[in-house]
Structure 1
């Protein structure tokens, strides 16, 4: 880690493929956490980190699910705060990852310095949003993460996407959390 000692204020965590499910969207009520996520979330809470879900959920704009269903589910998983983008890819919003809108909104509402925050996700869009906001970036290999990692290793990202490099690559969420607790002083 090149940044020196920091005191992370918050951990931003993607939903689909990062804490459960697959690389596909699974709606609330059908979504299953990976077996080790509950314990890992408990470690983050015990260590005093603010845990924030930030997730793209375009099914809200199509009427396939409701924002409140996602919020209730994610708060039930132990998140302190939930930020989600309900828009489709082509709607041009500023909140949909890889844009930084959700991170910026959370920073403003929670008085966070994003340079002192961590993002955990399984997609390169998570890494790009974190990069542009100045956060520490952790890519997990679950969900779409293995493909994203392979694309990264094979130099298959171009333009701005090629500038991004994760600070840590974890096999799963539990390993990411253990790395945070062991390597980032609070």
Structure 2
């Protein structure tokens, strides 16, 4: 299968611990920029997709995140600014951000990949649209596979990666 695009979660996948960090305080993991660069070099489209409900609380702006993702080399960022209880169609695990991207960029989501550290949000959103699902062990990844596995027990990741770079190597080795 020739993949069209990769959607990458932010907190715990690109950097941080899985907890919110303001973009001015956020640091990617040492390998994340290399991983993103390899994806770009391969010709795959790269999109950020992240839940950031602190936008709705006024603690940060969507523009703060967009500038961060632009600096990191993403083509576009899909950001849900809503609190989970708002039950919008964009807050992961809802697949709204993925569906929006598919419409904007004419993507077949079954030929796309989602990389994230939370099974009950990132992996379930990917599953809802038939995308390839990669769970990284960084951030909340280990706890997603252990303590919180019951929250997404019916869904299996296509690959469990040590980190974002490992995920990208797997994609490039398996993307034909």
- Which interval holds the TM-score relative to the shorter structure? over 0.9
- Partners of 1:101 and 1:140 lie apart in 2 by 22
SS in 2 for 1:72: helix
Deviation per CA, 1:8-59, whole angstroms, max 9, x where unpaired?
1000000000010112100111000000111111110010000000000001
Give the Cα–Cα distance (whole angstroms) in 1 for the partners of residues 106 and 147 of structure 2.
35
Partner residue in 1 for 2:171: 180
TM-score norm. by structure 1 comes to 0.92
In the TM superposition, what is the alpha-carbon distance from 1:75 to its structure 2 partner? Answer: 1.1
1:54 aligns with 2:81: no
The 5-angstrom pairing of residues 88-107 of structure 1 reads 88-107=83-102
Structure 1: gaps (5+ residues): 1-5
Q: How far is 1:157 from its partner?
A: 1.4
Cα displacement (A) at 1:163? 1.6
Give matches, 1:110-149, under 5 Å: 110-124=105-119, 125-149=121-145
Q: Write the distance in 1 (CA, Å) between the matches of 2:39 and 2:28.
A: 16
Count of equivalent residues: 175
**Cα RMSD, aligned residues only:** 1.0
- Mapped pair 1:15 → 2:6: no
Corresponding residue number in structure 1 for 2:82: 87
> Counterparts of 2:146 and 2:42 in 1: how far apart (Å)?
32
Q: Quick one: distance in 2 between partners of 1:18 and 1:69?
A: 18
Q: What is the match of residue 166 of structure 1?
A: 157
Q: Give SS of 1:51's match.
A: strand
* SS of equivalent to 2:134: strand
For residues 120-176 of structure 1, the C-alpha deviation after alignment (integer angstroms, 9 at most, x for no partner) is 000011000000110000000000001001247xxx415xx3221000000100000
Shift of the alpha carbon at 1:89? 1.1
TM-score, normalised relative to structure 2 = 0.97
Q: CA deviation at 1:119?
A: 0.3
Structure 2: which 5+ runs fail to align?
Answer: none
Q: Distance in 1 between matches of 2:175 and 2:45?
A: 14
> Distance between the aligned counterparts of 2:123 and 2:150, measured in 1?
12
